Amino acid sequence: MSFLPQIIFIAILAVAGIILTKRIKFLRRNIMLGKAETRNDQPGERWKTMALVAFGQQKMFKRLLPAFLHLLIYVGFVVINLEVLEFILDGLLGTHRLFAPLLGGAYTVAMNVFEFLAVAVLLSCVVFLTRRNVSKVERFTKPEMKGWPTLDANLILVIEIVLMVAILTMNATDQILANRGDEHYVVLGTLFFSSLIQPLFEGMSTGSLVFIERFAWWFHIVGILAFAVYVTYSKHLHIFLAFPNTWYSNLKPKGEMVNMPEVTNEVNMMLGIPTENPSEPPAEIPRFGAKDINDLSWVNVMNAYSCTECGRCTSECPANLTGKKLSPRKIMMDVRDRAEEVGKSLDSGGPGLEDGKSLLGDYITKEELNACTSCNACVEACPVNIDPLSIILNMRRYVAMEESGTPAQWNAMYQNMETSFAPWKFSPQDRFNWANEVKEEEIK
């Protein structure tokens, strides 16, 4: 018996493992370029959020059709990959359908379930390809989706279709060979979906069928391993990061803005309010707000890597809907792209963050930041609880506090609020003069 197929399989498995390990380390280092932030409070609520939002896809169902199709792909991805365990064991041990003799009739039932999900995934991917390229759903045609983002989405859908076809082809040829009495193959009974395409192969020779069956087997397992590596470079990294991303969600009310602790302590000291660690001198503050990714928190950077690029945030953004340049999806894509750029620079021995570029200016403009109304529509819309607003607010803080670069109208409003406790420039004592005028009109 030749051990060459097993050796080749082990080599492919090892290469995929090495590439994945290296890429995971790269992603983790990039995420940790962000500042430290502790989010371990309310663990019960966090587990519940992860279960409902990431595992249960609760927020996806605000749009029923894509949610249902996405659910089919998600369930198919999880369940069909259980079969990959058998593929791996068969590849390592040189066996074929290792679990079939152990499970008996239950194996045939399981294979029919896998085939049903394979067809469901295939059809769902066809619908999604149609929505993106024929129907051209508006949120998939925004400027930030030009080029690689669109190609990436289409590639994944095509890959999933081809992998599902490979499963059905393998099962169809496998059962024809089993029914011809080849002892290497196991008769499973009726596999409904693959039996529908068996007539395509019935007239072929045994040698041709063996070649097609083995090719489909190798194509599927190598495709799965290649897919696992590819998703770490793709927007589909959310398949894995959605779970930690939702666990570390911001559990505070959506309308609550987080103050900078350093500024809060300074203000409290000026007002004579006790502060945290009053006996310790204040730590040196590198900068107020965020100019680059290292000024954001690691959670913000993880948010960027978790972005599905679905565009629900942008399609709900009132600024974007009224023609402004702001797109919350682009903000997240820019943060991820900057993290990738810095990470690659560090790996090549380059300057990293000191490359003369920054997130503000080179990726995200002040015009985009100033267009945000802080309404939290993007946060509410995101199916995996990404928070673009926290990034926007931190970058606006840098523009205001470090560059004094906010629009003149804003500065006038801030001054009025500081002196008159209202956006308008008149004395607080005169604030209700309009009511007196109303009363006078009523008397008349």
- Is residue 262 one of the residues assigned to a domain? no
Query: ∠255-258-262 over CA atoms, to 5°?
Result: 160
Q: Are residues 175 and 116 in the same domain?
A: yes
Tell me: pLDDT of 241 over 70.
yes
pLDDT tens for residues 70-84?
A: 999 999 888 887 888
- Is residue 58 one of the residues assigned to a domain? no
pLDDT (0 to 100) of residue 401: 87
- Is residue 45 one of the residues assigned to a domain? no
- Is residue 39 one of the residues assigned to a domain? no
> Could you give the dihedral angle defined by the CA atoms of residues 390, 394, 397 and 401, in that order, rounded to the nearest 10 degrees?
160
Rounded Cα gap, residues 292 and 42, in angstroms: 30
pLDDT tens for residues 12-33?
A: 999 999 999 999 999 999 999 9
Domain boundary among 213, 241, 269: 241
pLDDT (0 to 100) of residue 267: 78
Tell me: pLDDT of 105 over 80.
yes
More confident residue, 414 or 54: 54
Domain that residue 307 falls in: 286-418
Give the pLDDT band of residue 130 (cuts 50, 70, 90). very high
Q: Which of 94-98, 130-134, 275-279 has the lowest mean pLDDT?
A: 275-279
pLDDT (0 to 100) of residue 240: 92
Q: Are residues 106 and 235 in the same domain?
A: yes
Q: Are residues 409 and 297 in the same domain?
A: yes
pLDDT (0 to 100) of residue 440: 78
Tell me: pLDDT of 279 over 70.
no
Q: Are residues 187 and 291 in the same domain?
A: no
- Is residue 426 one of the residues assigned to a domain? no
Tell me: pLDDT of 129 over 80.
yes
- Is residue 429 one of the residues assigned to a domain? no
Q: What is the overall mean pLDDT for the chain?
A: 90
Give the pLDDT band of residue 430 (cuts 50, 70, 90). confident
Please tell me the pTM assigned to this model: 0.87
Q: Are residues 298 and 174 in the same domain?
A: no
Q: Are residues 167 and 69 in the same domain?
A: yes
pLDDT tens for residues 157-203?
A: 999 999 999 999 999 999 999 988 877 888 888 899 999 999 999 98
Residue 414 CB contacts under 8 Å (≥ 6 apart), including other chains: 406
Q: 292 near 116, Cβ under 8 Å?
A: no
Give the pLDDT band of residue 248 (cuts 50, 70, 90). very high
Q: 242 near 306, Cβ under 8 Å?
A: yes
The predicted model gives 362-380 an average pLDDT of 95
More confident residue, 431 or 153: 153
- Is residue 145 one of the residues assigned to a domain? yes
* Number of structural domains the chain divides into: 2
Q: Are residues 221 and 294 in the same domain?
A: no
Tell me: pLDDT of 215 over 90.
yes
The domain spanning residue 294 has which CATH number? Answer: 1.10.1060
CA distances to 68, 75, 154, 157, 159 from 118, rounded to whole Å, are: 15, 10, 18, 13, 13
Tell me: pLDDT of 266 over 70.
yes
Q: Are residues 86 and 144 in the same domain?
A: yes
Rounded Cα gap, residues 97 and 105, in angstroms: 13
Tell me: pLDDT of 280 over 70.
no
pLDDT (0 to 100) of residue 348: 94
Answer left, alpha or beta for residue 145, where phi above 0 means left and psi between -120 and 50 means alpha.
alpha
pLDDT (0 to 100) of residue 282: 53
Q: Are residues 218 and 77 in the same domain?
A: yes
Q: Are residues 174 and 291 in the same domain?
A: no
Looking at the chain, the whole-number percentage of residues with pLDDT higher than 90 is: 66
Q: Are residues 106 and 236 in the same domain?
A: yes
pLDDT (0 to 100) of residue 411: 83
Q: Are residues 189 and 324 in the same domain?
A: no
Residue 290 CB contacts under 8 Å (≥ 6 apart), including other chains: 296, 359, 360, 391, 394, 395, 397, 398
Tell me: pLDDT of 433 over 90.
no
pLDDT (0 to 100) of residue 109: 93
- Is residue 437 one of the residues assigned to a domain? no
